[in-house]
Amino acid sequence: MRTEEFKLDGGQVLDKVKALIREGNIRRIVLKNDEGHTLMEVPLTVGLIGAALLPVLAAVGALAAVATRMTLVVERID
């Protein structure tokens, strides 16, 4: 398993999460604030597609709207 971190402005977070989900080799996404505290942790399973993602994307969008900078930690499946 491989881990990547992206430091993003709040407005970029939702677009990045959508792009990562489309890639399809993501196991988990973790959103952290500037202090490194975990705000949200989203495990992504193979069957999680379409309408099942709407609540996840809505929550990510809500967090991104109130945060100025966030760290997006991505666990990829090798």
State mean pLDDT over 17-43: 88
Question: Model-level pTM?
Answer: 0.82
- What CATH number is given to the structural domain containing 66? 3.30.1490
Per the structure, how many domains does the chain have? 1
SS3 15: helix
The parent domain of residue 70 ranges over 2-76
pLDDT band at 22 (very low <50, low <70, confident <90, very high): confident
Q: How big is the CA angle at 72 (ends 39 and 35), to the nearest 5 degrees?
A: 55
Out of 10-19, 44-53, 68-77, least confident range: 44-53
Instruction: Decide if 70 contacts 32 (C-beta within 8 A).
Output: yes
- The pLDDT of residue 5 is 95
